[in-house]
Amino acid sequence: MKTTTRRAFIKSSVATASVVALPAIAQSKSGSSDRIRVGVIGMHRGLAHARSIAEMEKSGQNVEVAVSCDCDLRAANWAADIIEKQGVKRPLVVQDLRRLMEDKSIDAVSIGTPDHWHAPAAIWACQAGKDVFVEKPLAHTIEEGRKMVEAARKYKRMVQVGTQCRSSPNIIEGVKHAREGLIGDIYMARAVSFKVHGNLGRHKPTQPPKELDWDIFVGPAPKQPYSNFRKTRWYWLRDFCNGDMANQPTHQLDIIRWAMKLEEHPVQAQSMGGCLVHDDDREWPDNQTFTCKFADGRMISVEHRNWWTAAEGGLRDKWPFSSNPDAVVGAILLGKKGFMVFPSYTSYYSFLGPKREPGPHADSPTKIPNWHAMDNVHHPNWIKACRSRNLKYLNADVEQGHMATTIALLGSISLLTEQTVNFDPKTETFPGNPAANKLLSKDYREPFVVPKEV
């Protein structure tokens, strides 16, 4: 992996930016010097980011969605239209995210791209002096996560991770109870993500749509031909994503390690799984189980399933996760005096003693919570930190995102090496295990490179 200087990055950005008839985005700041202009990147998940920021603008806060950026101009324009219909100024549409990095009028970026773009985009933004909101899982590799933390600290940037539960008042309350000993010492926890995904189909290489810059979509991944499968099913492809183990469970793992006061990585991990239901071109398992152990002996188990399943611990049947009637999602904490269940982004329940007597709990405002609503709390928290320049205001600082994501990535590394792996939390390496150590990082396709020195 080659080292890329900031000067070289800017030079390559200018040379390779998309040639499209779009307004220039480089401009002086409008209005108050305190106005925060945000560029949103990746307008599938990023649309929710943009809508939250637009709501803040409508309410009179000095912030705006300045740019809708997506390598697919159809998505970028679709999102810009929706934002304009919210009653605010239509954001400019940009296809190449590097243009945002070059533009000094953009104060911050909010990243909703596939996983493989999280680290390059976030690190480049930090180097360009911009604050960052980046979706979970934080990074595509463990080394990338550490580099993102280093970049945030070196350039003094406010980097918030999309673990929205950190901003939920009810989750905060439940975690506080757990940390204060409501259910006694927590010796083990479990995260589950059971959803129904059908057959995903096959690769059928063809020419990309004219509105899509496929080279930018592929970005740091190896060069490969376009297919609709790669464009729409990237969640299950190793070049672009970390699979289901790092998708939904990252939220639950973050709640668990927060509640259990786990400030270091696990020391051992074991995972098994496979494509057991459908015969298609996905590369990550449709069913996987994972257990990790910490230095003090406590454990976390994680499981995801992609087909019809029984419920677990009241999840789904008693406490729905979302409007999806098939989803069984949540975190279960097991303590010496009882247990707690976190079935959504906005509720928790506790049960105490041998008779499982109900203890403190808090329900979501609706019985079937909409997780997008949490963006309307989490993004304002990030903007508050950006304006104050004070890290303590961040509910989900990049370091916390790195810790939660690393747990999930340890499961993937154990799965891919078919080994029980021993991990050194201090060095973030696998002592004496070259096969596992190789998966701590990856090679990058020029010029979309995460530098060795940020």
User: DSSP letters of 3-32?
Assistant: ---HHHHHHHHHHHS----------PPPS-
DSSP 28: P
* 244: its two tokens: 């289901």
Q: Are residues 297 and 321 in the same domain?
A: yes
Q: Are residues 393 and 271 in the same domain?
A: no
Q: Are residues 105 and 227 in the same domain?
A: no
Helix (H) or strand (E) holding 431: none
Q: CA 304, CA 190: separation in Å to the nearest integer?
A: 11
Distance of CA 432 to the CA centre of its chain: 30
Q: Which residues of the chain have pLDDT under 70?
A: 1-33, 365-373
| Tens digits of residue pLDDT in 350-409 | 999 999 999 999 987 554 445 456 888 999 999 999 999 999 999 999 999 999 999 999
Q: Are residues 342 and 359 in the same domain?
A: yes
Contact 49, 132 (CB under 8 A): no
* CATH number (domain holding residue 337): 3.30.360.10
The predicted structure's pLDDT at residue 373: 65
> Is residue 450, in this structure, part of any structural domain at all?
no
Q: Are residues 303 and 408 in the same domain?
A: yes
> Is residue 144, in this structure, part of any structural domain at all?
yes
Q: Are residues 192 and 309 in the same domain?
A: yes
The b-or-e profile of 349-367 (16+ CB within 10 A means b, else e) is bbbbeeeeeebebbebeee
Q: Are residues 299 and 417 in the same domain?
A: yes
Q: Are residues 180 and 282 in the same domain?
A: yes
Q: Are residues 199 and 78 in the same domain?
A: no
> Is residue 453, in this structure, part of any structural domain at all?
no
**CA 74, 76, 82: angle at the middle one, nearest 5?**
100
Q: CA 298, CA 329: separation in Å to the nearest integer?
A: 22
Pick left, alpha or beta for residue 426 (phi over 0 → left; psi -120 to 50 → alpha; otherwise beta). alpha
**CA 262, 268, 272: angle at the middle one, nearest 5?**
115
Domain count, the chain: 2
> Is residue 447, in this structure, part of any structural domain at all?
no
Contact 58, 87 (CB under 8 A): yes
Q: At what angle do helices 73-85 and 46-58 cross, to 10 degrees?
A: 30
The predicted structure's pLDDT at residue 126: 98
> Is residue 186, in this structure, part of any structural domain at all?
yes
Domain encompassing residue 220:
168-367+404-438
Q: Are residues 353 and 383 in the same domain?
A: no
* CATH number (domain holding residue 384): 3.40.50.720
* 305: its two tokens: 């399933």
Q: Are residues 112 and 129 in the same domain?
A: yes
> Is residue 446, in this structure, part of any structural domain at all?
no
